[in-house]
A = this chain, B = another copy of it.
Amino acid sequence: MEALKERIRKEGVNLGGGILKVDSFINHQVDPALMLAVGGALAAHFGAMGITKVLTAEISGIAPALTTALALGVPVVYGRKTKPITMPKNVYVATAPSHTKGQEVHLMVSPEFLTSKDKVLIIDDFLATGHTIMALISLAEQAGAEVVGVGAVIEKSFEGGRAMLEARGLRVRSLAVIKEMTDDEIIFAEGVSP
């Protein structure tokens, strides 16, 4: 997605240690029009797969997952990291290390909203090590749902997440695939996810 790559080139900041700061349009401030285009592109890729639900993780997955779900015409469920009192006692739980917060997070989904009848598309802002996405897959599997694919806004291919997902036979789509970040340049992989 060229508009997204252009935005990353212009506003993305390489903070070192594999951390890409995209706080100005994805993670803290969000560009809604770009996010709508992101959702449209991800929905177009996975649209024919009979998806009944989009699953993501709070917090920064919510925006792209919402616009993808909007384009697909299905609900979106976001895995919660803390349990609000509105959540039932028994929930599905999966654990993932948090890349940008330096601790483990638990992701919870209520059995009310994910069942064995669901065909699930997993969406997140980043595909990096794939650990958050693996936790989302675990949540779907606990519910007996079928995961039909994984979509990410930005992929850091040098962190290996895609290989882990594709080894499970999952279809993976990222709208911008970064293969390398140097001190002064963000280099995209060409042709991986056109």
Contact = CB atoms under 8 A, between A and B. Distances in A.
Contacts of A109: 28
A100 interface: yes
Consensus secondary structure, chain A interface: mixed
A44 B50 CA distance: 34
A188 to B, nearest CB: 20
Given A32-B66, A59-B62, A62-B59, A15 B113 contact: no
Interface string A73-104: 11111101010111100000000000011100
Nearest to A27: B86
Interface of A: 15, 19, 21-25, 27-33, 35-36, 58-59, 62-63, 66-67, 69-70, 73-78, 80, 82, 84-87, 100-102, 109-110, 112-113
